Chain A
Amino acid sequence: MREEPYAIKIDDLTVAYNYKPVLWDIDLVIPEGVLMAIVGPNGAGKSTLIKSILGIVKPIAGSVQVFGKPYKKQVDKVAYVPQKGSVDWDFPTIALDVVMMGTYGSLGWIKRPGQKEKKQALEALEKVGMLEFRDRQISQLSGGQQQRIFLARALVQNASIYLMDEPFQGVDATTEKAIINILKELRKAGKTLIVVHHDLQTVPEYFDWVTFLNVKGIASGPVKDIFNDDNLTKTYGINYKVAVNK
């Protein structure tokens, strides 16, 4: 099968944990090389959408294609940055070890990381400005530093697509700038980035593509074309209009 010009293609995706669907009949095509925000209110299914792309959550119906194939066949092309709160940071390990985990996928079963993997991890730590904290126990890191460790771990994977679940949550302005600069650099290198994002004010500044989600897909496309009151209202309800327009 020849490669299509899109990075991810989602057809008729429906996900439900209990009775109520979390995602309903999502059709979405994400072109290659975009820096895309997924926006929507709480409970809109943003994290679930990312998790179903990654195969963490099993859909009731529908399919997800990554570069024309199911995710399972493309694991080496996709990197994931989970929500910071999804793990217990009191786990007995150091920052460098966590970043090294990004190499485990390409190593495969049983094989241990060696010097080459360590070097990759150190480079990634340097890129996110965390090199001096490499031997720090991870619970001793601040929230912003933990977020950067997760980013470094994804960088090590050297993937084509990056899926990030709220990478700016609970980080200070400096860290946010540092992270967005790395994301923009990745896009320049031709990577596709999909980011769950909460701060509507920064969408036009950070992203070039946006998907509005509220259980159903509301709209998806270039920020300059579709990031407008109409779509925000459809996604969030009427009150948001005022806040964003200022």
Chain B
Amino acid sequence: MELTDFFTNYTLRTITLGTAVLGAICGMLGSFAVLRKQSLLGDAISHASLPGIAIAFIITGVKNEHLFLVGALISGLIGTFWIKSIVKRTRLKNDTALGLILSLFFGLGMLLLTFIQKMPNANQAGLDKYLFGQAATLVEEDVWVMAAVTGVSLIVLLLFWKELKLLLFDPDYTKTLGFNTRFLDILITSFIVVAIVLGLQTVGVVLMSAMLLAPAAAARQWTNNLGVMIVLASIFGAFSGVFGTAISASQDNLSTGPVIVLVAAAFVLLSFIFSPRRGLLFRELRFRKNRRELHLKKTLTFMYRIAKEHDNISHPHAIRILNNFQGFTRKTLTKLEEQHLIRVEGNQWALTEKGFQEAESMYVKMGTDHD
């Protein structure tokens, strides 16, 4: 299918708007999944929704997007409920329960899809689009539905902001303050389920959880404030939608859902590397800088111990005697000279007055630290 031929400008605009809103709501609600450490729950729920879609079609025999979403919602909720019951009633751990339900429901869903394809009167085309999503089928009405759901979620979020924050940080404590944690838990889980069901049509069952997690994971790197994190996650999500749609529309045969997910993943990658406080790059740079400074300090205090033996602190010494000192390099010598802490003449060095004082203060400080 040639996507560029397929779209008129109007449909492209609808799709872009739709994926942007979807990205925003996924970022917003996905933040809760990430902070609740329920990232994988999203994955399980989205896979669990597949049989619901198939069963909705088998029962009614009509192809109706909204009907499918209701089916997805119901089987997603059943899956979630089962996961929670398994964890509560058996000795299986959370990850096992998630994996179990995920594959069980997804397997059933795939089975039903093949069954539907063999049904004689079935209008088969289209159900398998829920596997990887098809943004091209978004219409204006879908965008309105998404926008409305976003609005409602935002109001609920703002209303229960204090309680949700408390629950995310410390569930037991929330309970002791007299809040109904079960209600709050259901609220958060519903958030996750709603976001997933909304995205099924666009991104699909298999990749949906990435939409939920990637913007939130990226946003967490840039801020230490919950509110800012959620806003940032929405922005990252929206941009992933817009960029993803633009890229897939400009390249033939690229399906939109996977491209959106890849753009979101790029946000994560960039954030993990370049965010100033938590990013890998700056952390490594800080680490190296600290280690270099420590080398300098160690070398200087070593020189100080030698210089102290002489009445004249600026008495020159051979560079040779530093060679046995671990951590010493020619570069440290140059650095120390640049900072006017030592003087180097030929193959001799001498502490300056400034260098002596600095080393002395360091020496005293280190000494008292260990006492």
Contact = CB atoms under 8 A, between A and B. Distances in A.
Which of B175, B228, B229 has the largest count of A CB atoms less than 10 A from its CB?
Answer: B175
A171 to B, nearest CB: 19
22 contacts: A18-B91, A54-B172, A54-B175, A56-B172, A56-B175, A72-B178, A75-B177, A80-B172, A86-B172, A88-B37, A91-B169, A92-B223, A92-B224, A94-B224, A104-B162, A104-B179, A109-B179, A110-B159, A110-B163, A112-B161, A112-B162, A113-B162
Interface of A: 18, 51, 54-56, 72, 75-76, 78, 80, 82, 86-88, 91-94, 98, 101, 104-105, 107, 109-113, 137
Q: Which 8 A-B pairs have the closest CB atoms?
A: A105-B177, A75-B178, A137-B224, A80-B176, A54-B176, A87-B170, A92-B226, A92-B224
Contacts of B172: 51, 54, 56, 80, 82, 86
Given A86-B170, A104-B163, A93 B175 contact: no
Which of B159, B172, B179 has the largest count of A CB atoms less than 10 A from its CB?
Answer: B172
Contacts of B229: 92
Interface of B: 35, 37, 91, 159-163, 165-166, 168-170, 172-173, 175-179, 220, 223-226, 228-229
B176 A75 contact: yes
A54 B178 CA distance: 10
Contacts of A98: 169
Given A109-B179, A137-B224, A80 B173 contact: yes
Given A18-B91, A56-B176, A93 B226 contact: yes
A54 B171 CA distance: 13
Contacts of B162: 104, 107, 110-113
Contact of A87 (B163, B169, B175): B169
Nearest to B223: A92
B220 A92 contact: yes
Contacts of A88: 37, 169
Contacts of A78: 176
Given A75-B178, A104-B162, A104-B163, A82 B170 contact: yes
Contact of A93 (B37, B178, B225): B225
B169 A101 contact: yes
A39 to B, nearest CB: 22
B61 to A, nearest CB: 45
A105 B179 CA distance: 8
A183 to B, nearest CB: 19
B168 A91 contact: yes
A95 to B, nearest CB: 11
Given A75-B178, A104-B163, A107-B162, A92 B170 contact: no
Nearest to B35: A91
Which of B91, B169, B226 has the largest count of A CB atoms less than 10 A from its CB?
Answer: B169
B183 to A, nearest CB: 10
A80 to B, nearest CB: 4
Contacts of A91: 35, 168-169, 226
Nearest to B229: A92
